[in-house]
Amino acid sequence: MSALRVENLSYRYPGADRPALDSVSLEIDPGEFVVCAGLSASGKSTLLRAACGLVPHFHGGAVSGRVTVGGLDTREHQPGELAAHAGTLLQDPETQVVMGTVGAELAFPLENRGLAPTAVARGVEEVALALGIGEILERPVTGLSGGELQRVALGAALATRPPLVLLDEPASQLDPVAADELTWMLRRLNEEWGTAVLLVEHRLERCLAHADRVVVLDAGRVAFDGGPRAMLEWAAQSEPALQTPAARLFERAGLVPAPTGVRDARATLVDHGLLDELPPAPAAESPRRSHGWPRRSRAGEEPAVGVRGAWRAREGVGDVLRAVDLSVAPGETVALMGRNGAGKSTLLRIMAGIEAPDRGRVETSGPVALLLQNPGDYLLSERAGDEVSQASLEWAGLADQADRHPRDLSGGERQRLALALIMEGESPAALLLDEPTRGMDRAARGELLSRLRELAASGVGVVVATHDAELAAVGADRVVLLSGGRPVADGPPSEVLCGGWHFSTETARILGGAGGACTPEQGGDLLRGTMSVEVAP
């Protein structure tokens, strides 16, 4: 019996002018690890909603075809019944958490299965340890960071060890360490327990090396279904936006075949003797910057936004921020990075004035706009066109989505709509974004970066809290790394994002930080310059 069978499935959301899924057929066998890729709004999340029964039981709309999960027809069985066969984590974990504490949330699905108290306690402990949330079992879910909440929702989905897991960007709010640990845990579940995995992911470099198959959706149709290496070859010709950084690095350098991950890439470079020829990583540009000193405004220049000596504590957690000094100049773009719970979101809320520091002060030269992690909280109307003006819709690239309900937009489209909403009217002195690329493909991230560059060029200070090192490498003037509630590194991307393993781009990991190359373009040019002989295919 297939873990999941999709037969000629077509689906149209209520009020939509085109189908979200169009004649999709797909079969996943027990123990198979399948990655689902595609551009924003290609139908990936809708496919997962259909697989867990939310389409059509919750979303309504017009549906044809058939979906069976563990032999159960989703037309005849409700999502609650299907949950015994498929654990699901969607893009908005905050909408999936129903209990008051972390421990209660993890126990809830086990108790629903009627397990004995000892089995429930063991299941909670095991999934908490696997996801690194054992220290927060007693904490209320309302005080968790976005990444912590995502891990809790994921733990609830995995606690019963279902034969199939359906995951929609499960690492989108996780720090690099947690994201790597999640990927390895999924691989272990897949290999040791025979758990089938259907994983929707935009950042394919996280998971491609672990996949058995890759299914690419395009405008609701299956455009490709095959192995990871074959997918990279297909993407190079048909959809370059789906190429991983490693694949783009090799393409820029003129090397083939495209690698499926860091290990594969480094093995190829070692075989050709290229790693030994690369220059070392550059020395720090400034000792002050490399040891976490904030950038100071020029003499007489008022910062767009900044904090001085900011402290913030939370009950049951302790000090979230500790004597933080950070100044963002007009027109400067700063990437704020750090592990989950490092204080990034708290710092943004304090800068925006919606939360007050316990000690210290906030400095601004004008209004501060803030987009938090859940864009759905900003959207109140039943039509996207009623949220913002037509000009703002066009600015967000959503001119053709005016009649859609915001709930029915893809995660990336909701992000862009919420950003357009907070940017309507007077231009702010500073724009603060918390994980803005959640749900966005590389093309959409490029469009976002273009808009942020326009704002920075007009004098707006931009701060982006992100786990996306690729975004920080391309879009930031500075990268500030938080740890233990304070900055521990502050410098240009070539300094902060090179030479490490977790807080680093895929290019930098492949090249070991050589030459300060953070992006595929920089790395490809570096490799081409060090090739003493032509490398044959």
pLDDT digits (tens, 9 = 90+) for 422-449: 988 888 999 999 988 877 888 888 888 9
Lowest mean pLDDT among 44-48, 119-123, 292-296, 315-319: 292-296
- Does residue 224 sit in the same domain as residue 347? no
- The residues facing 217 across adjacent strands are 222
Structure tokens at 405: 């309900």
The CATH number that applies at residue 439 is 3.40.50.300
Q: For residue range 295-343, list pLDDT tens digits in order.
A: 444 445 689 999 999 999 988 778 999 999 999 999 999 999 998 889 9
Q: Of the residues 237, 259, 291, which one is the last residue of a structural domain?
A: 237
Residues 6 or more apart from 533 whose CB is under 8 A from it?
A: none
- Name which of 316, 324, 285, 349 is nearest 478 in CA terms: 285
Separation in Å, CA 396 to CA 46, 61, 76, 380, 419: 22, 26, 39, 18, 8
The boundaries of the domain holding residue 189 are 4-237
- Residues 253, 362, single domain; the answer is no
Say if residue 269 is in the same domain as residue 311.
no
Q: What's the CA gap between 319 and 507, in Å, rounded?
A: 35
Helical H segments across 218-308, by residue range: 228-238, 245-253, 262-271, 287-290
CB contact at 8 A, 84 and 113: yes
Same domain, 82 and 154: yes
**What is the helix (H) or strand (E) element at residue 188, kind and residue range?**
helix 176-193
Let me know whether 487 and 510 are in one domain. Answer: no
Residue ranges in 20-134 assigned as alpha helix (H):
44-51, 54-57, 79-82, 102-112, 117-130
Residue after which a domain boundary falls, among 237, 267, 292: 237
Same domain for 172 and 158? yes
pLDDT at 101: 95
Do 329 and 473 share a domain, yes or no? yes
Question: Mean pLDDT across the stretch 186-213?
Answer: 91
Q: Clarify whether residues 146 and 215 are in a common domain.
A: yes
Q: Are both 210 and 110 inside the same structural domain? A: yes
Which distant-in-sequence residues (6+ apart) come within 8 Å of 450 by Cβ? none
Residues 73 and 45 in one domain: yes
The dihedrals phi and psi of 159, each to the nearest 5 degrees, come to: -60, -35
Domain count, the chain: 3
Whether residue 294 lies inside any domain: the answer is: no
Same-domain status, 184 and 305: no
Are 136 and 220 contained in the same domain?
Answer: yes
Compare 119 and 535 and report the one with higher pLDDT. 119
pLDDT tops 50 at residue 355: yes
* Distance between CA atoms of residues 242 and 262, nearest Å: 17
What pLDDT is attached to residue 301? 67
| 375 within some domain | no
Is pLDDT of 285 > 70? no
- Residue 52: per-residue pLDDT: 94
Given a cut of 90, whether residue 117 has pLDDT beyond it is: yes
Question: Which pLDDT score, from 0 to 100, does residue 281 have?
Answer: 67
Averaged over 380-397, what is the pLDDT? 90
User: Does 412 reside within a domain?
Assistant: no
Residue 114 pLDDT > 50, yes or no? yes
